[in-house]
A and B are shown apart, each in its own frame.
Chain A
Amino acid sequence: MDDKKLAIIATKGSLDWAYPPFILASTAAALGYETQIFFTFYGLQLLKKKLELQVTPLGNPGMPMPMGMDKWFPILGMTLPGMQGMMTGMMKKKMKDKGVASVDELRELCQEADVKLIACQMTVDLFDMDSSEFIDGIEYAGAAAFFEFAGESDICLYI
């Protein structure tokens, strides 16, 4: 049982897309999987010490809008300054009300459960990011290192 492995590539840096990698990784770890998440491109936002993740309905017709907002605001209205911040605030409140964990909490649970968090070194360099921006306990590696683990994994997800 304990030799099952899960490899995840996390590529997205928005509040909504922060959930799948951390939910799946923490749950897999609880089920006895050895788990790694490789964070690349915008996924690196999920490793920042101070998470400033936002959610946007722009380009996302599937996002349910609170209070029928989509009827009152045409899509252009969503581009107004402050709209993204407001949507993010509403989403966070809804999650809290429904007992959904925060991204910070899920990330901590992953680290407690020994999920290995790996930052893509190339993207860190590309975006001139600094390791001091990221949480402690992560590793830095490249594609070949990912395949070393992913090649032996039972489940491999690209998110």
Chain B
Amino acid sequence: MADFDQELDASGLNCPLPILRAKKTLNGMEADQVLHVIATDPGSVKDFDAFSKQTGNELVESKEDGGKFHFMIKKI
């Protein structure tokens, strides 16, 4: 897995909390830094894709591993 600057474990949280926590964390980060989000909500796969498209932040990686979803989001 690629390098990241901050990690957010949103395991167990349901819509829309993973997105809201990710947004809050990104707010405190610098441009070009990468946030690694871990989630268990299956809806988060489409949500993080939509989040990136609408906010302009880049979804560098989105994958499932051992029942958890991992997202790498680069702040623009």
Enumerate chain A interface residues (CB-CB to B < 8 A).
1, 23, 26-27, 30-32, 98-101, 109, 112-113
Q: Which residues of B sit under 8 angstroms from A98, Cβ to Cβ?
A: 14
Given contacts A30-B23, A99-B41, contact A1 B16 (CB under 8 A): no
Consensus secondary structure, chain A interface: loop
Q: Which listed residue, B17, B24, B55, B56, touches A101 by the CB 8 Å rule?
A: B17
Determine the residue in chain B with the shortest Cβ distance to A23: B16
Residue B42 at the A interface, CB < 8 A? no
Enumerate chain B interface residues (CB-CB to A < 8 A).
12-17, 19-20, 23-24, 40-41, 51, 54-56
7 A-B residue pairs with CB within 8 Å: A1-B54, A23-B16, A30-B55, A31-B54, A31-B55, A101-B16, A109-B20
Nearest CB of chain B from residue A105's CB, rounded to whole Å: 8
Nearest CB of chain A from residue B55's CB, rounded to whole Å: 6
Q: Which residues of A sit under 8 angstroms from B41, Cβ to Cβ?
A: 99
Q: Is the CB of A26 within 8 A of B55?
A: no
Nearest CB of chain A from residue B53's CB, rounded to whole Å: 9
Q: Which residues of A sit under 8 angstroms from B51, Cβ to Cβ?
A: 30-31
Q: Is the CB of B15 within 8 A of A23?
A: yes
Q: Which listed residue, B17, B23, B54, touches A99 by the CB 8 Å rule?
A: B17
Q: Is the CB of A30 within 8 A of B56?
A: no
